[in-house]
């Protein structure tokens, strides 16, 4: 197979070597470079994402997948998965990205991953918030922030993946509409307006990240509130200024209605930095 990319000079050949997993729209397999270019030496292992079998003949799913590729082609950020190559015209659509052998944050949580301190968790949150602020600056909303879609690199740094549910915000509207109607994404991490009406603005990502941070603080997947209802109680015992600030941050990120939430990822990042450096 030949992977031709408009982002990188030349071409490189890949061959599949094993399955990695499956998500909402796509399946991912591990591939090895068998003929190289300047950026991709022979033997390099990458991950290839394709539409899942049930979606390959669905025009709406294909449009979302094409949009995901366009988003990754536009963005370049250390905490957002990079586009390494795409399929040749006329082939079934797929793209190649780095291979993250540590897997997802969900796998780390299931294995008992805990942060050494609240400061370490806040630093981790800053990385994700900054990446989302960067994406939002292009008009891209992720719309499916959850531990499964946060990968970990070799240094345990977060990398946001699976932008297939994201959508470009129209210049004249701050509202995000689903193309096929009905809710998408994972209900527990979705804001009420996204899940019930199929639309959200950037505060939908703020809400979802707030739920993820609460989960990380507890060190396990715990549905502490019903989906979409917001987190109004303390996540951590308020025994320190850092814990009290963290509880306030989570409450302000997950307010029930968008107007009551922190309004931007830049504000989330600033608040998390404050906690990290107290």
Catalytic positions, written as ranges: 144
* Whether 56 contacts 66, CB under 8 Å: no
Q: Identify any residues that bridge with 265 across adjacent strands, giving them in sequence order.
A: none
Instruction: Give DSSP secondary structure letters for the chain.
Output: -EEE-SSSSSEEEEEEEEEEEE-SSEEEEEEEEEE--SSS-TT-EEEEEEE-GGGTT-HHHHHHHHHHHHHHHH---TTBPPP-EEEPTTSPPEEEEE--TT-BHHHHHHTT---SSHHHHHHHHHHHHHHHHHHHHTTEE----SGGGEEE-TT--EEE---TT-EEPPTT---EE-SSSS--S-GGGS-HHHHHHSEE-HHHHHHHHHHHHHHHHHTS----S-TTS---S-SS---SHHHHHHHHHHHHHS-SSGGGS---HHHHHHHHHHHHT-
Q: What angle do CA 13, 15, 16 make, to 5 degrees?
A: 145
Q: Identify any residues that bridge with 159 across adjacent strands, giving them in sequence order.
A: 151
* Whether 254 contacts 210, CB under 8 Å: yes
Distance CA 86, CA 126 (A): 30
């Amino acid at each position: 197979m030949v992977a031709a990319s408009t982002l990188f000079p030349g071409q490189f050949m890949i061959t599949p070597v094993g399955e990695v997993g499956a998500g909402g729209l796509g399946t991912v397999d591990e591939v090895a470079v068998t003929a190289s270019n300047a950026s991709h030496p022979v033997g390099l292992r990458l991950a290839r994402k394709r539409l899942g079998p049930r979606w390959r003949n669905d025009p709406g799913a294909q449009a979302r997948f094409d949009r995901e590729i366009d988003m990754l082609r536009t963005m370049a950020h250390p905490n957002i998965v990079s586009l390494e190559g795409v399929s040749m015209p006329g082939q079934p659509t797929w793209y190649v990205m780095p291979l993250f052998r540590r897997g997802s944050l969900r796998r780390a949580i299931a294995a008992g991953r805990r942060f050494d301190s609240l400061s370490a968790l806040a630093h981790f949150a800053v990385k994700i918030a900054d990446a989302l602020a960067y994406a939002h600056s292009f008009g891209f909303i992720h719309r499916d922030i959850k531990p499964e879609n946060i990968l970990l690199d070799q240094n345990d740094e977060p990398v946001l993946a699976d932008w297939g549910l994201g959508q470009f915000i129209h210049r004249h509207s701050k509202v995000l509409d689903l193309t096929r109607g009905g809710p998408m994404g994972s209900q527990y991490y979705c804001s009420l307006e996204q899940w019930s009406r199929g639309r959200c603005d950037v505060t939908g990502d703020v809400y979802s990240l707030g739920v993820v941070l609460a989960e990380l603080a507890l060190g396990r997947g715990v549905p502490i509130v019903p989906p979409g209802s917001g987190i109004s109680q303390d996540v951590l015992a308020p025994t320190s200024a850092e814990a009290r600030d963290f509880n306030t941050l989570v409450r302000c990120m997950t307010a029930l209605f968008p107007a009551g939430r922190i309004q931007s990822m830049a504000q989330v990042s600033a608040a998390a930095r404050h906690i990290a450096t107290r």
